[in-house]
Amino acid sequence: MAGIYKFVELETFGFGPNVMKRKKVCSGCNHIIDIEEKTCPLCGIVLNNKTLYDLYKQMHSCCPDCDTVLTEGARFCPHCGTKLIESPGFVRKKIH
């Protein structure tokens, strides 16, 4: 239950995964834009469908079970508890 309150608190200040899933980043001017927009209002570039959260996940390792972004060196997922191991290339894998 505490996790839900943490996300609500983050969202109150404009942060967290749910906020990031509702935003896009313009590849031309790096302006943050609502997900409904098709073109950047500042520079006019046509936007792709990737959200800010998608871009964030590309830069970090994620849990193979619940897709939660992991901190560097995490041994367990903080959300679902999946045990993780490091493999060459820093790809997280689930231990069976």
pLDDT in tens, 9-57: 666 766 777 888 899 999 999 999 999 999 999 999 999 999 988 888 8
Q: Which residue has the higher pLDDT, 52 or 87?
A: 52
Global confidence as pTM: 0.62
| Spans of all domains in the chain | 1-59, 61-96
Please spell the DSSP secondary structure of 22-91, one letter per residue: TEEE-TTT--EEETT-SB-TTT-PBP-S--HHHHHHHTS-B-TTT--B--TT-SB-TTT--BEE--TTS-
